Structure 1
């Protein structure tokens, strides 16, 4: 009986270690509003800004396809903010 519990426990632990949790990202450029100061000036990004950059990273290529958003997202300062937030800027 103890061996079967150990086997079940081992299988559950193996499955849990292989499970990847994925969450859907809602692409909204307004989510990057905490980064405006860092993108438009040389001030360092806040923790909230970095959190939002990481959340919105899957959306950056989509933003770069938009002519209005591209001029904000595809700038040296935006890339610098991503770098300071330790979030690699995507190649689109």
Structure 2
């Protein structure tokens, strides 16, 4: 019996979603990972590709950073919001 295209698609979808969930669980929250963004956050310059990659990787950690008074400005300052927006990462409402 041949598997239907719907069943194959469903299996692929489950595998992809499972992989993405595993990847997001593997993120280590470390504000130092955002160091490539320091120049853009402090001066308002355009963020580098590496900065955007790191912001996207650290997206699951942003609420944790916002809740930490010593890190809050790293995420909520006007330039930090500009960096996040340029990189296509919305600032979460925590």
TM interval, shorter chain, is 0.7 to 0.9
Aligned length: 88
Instruction: Please state how far the C-alpha of 1:11 moved relative to its aligned partner.
Output: 3.2
Shift of 1:77: 0.5
Structure-2 separation of matches of 1:86 and 1:71:
19
CA gap 1:8/1:37 in 2 versus in 1, 3 angstroms: same
Pair member with larger Rg:
1
Aligned-partner Cα distance in 2 for 1:39–1:8: 51
Unpaired segments of 5 or more residues in structure 2? none
Deviation at 1:73?
2.0
Aligned pairs for 1:1-92 (under 5 A) are 4=1, 6-7=2-3, 11-19=7-15, 20=17, 21=19, 22=21, 23=23, 24=25, 25-92=27-94
Moved more, 30-39 or 70-79: 70-79
Give the RMSD, CA atoms, in angstroms.
1.7
Q: Deviations over 1:9-54 (max 9, x none)?
A: 7634421123302212110001000000000002100001001101
Q: Distance in 2 between matches of 1:82 and 1:71?
A: 13
* TM-score normalised by the chain length of structure 2: 0.82
More displaced, 35-44 or 14-23? 14-23
Structure 1: tracts of 5 or more residues without a match: none
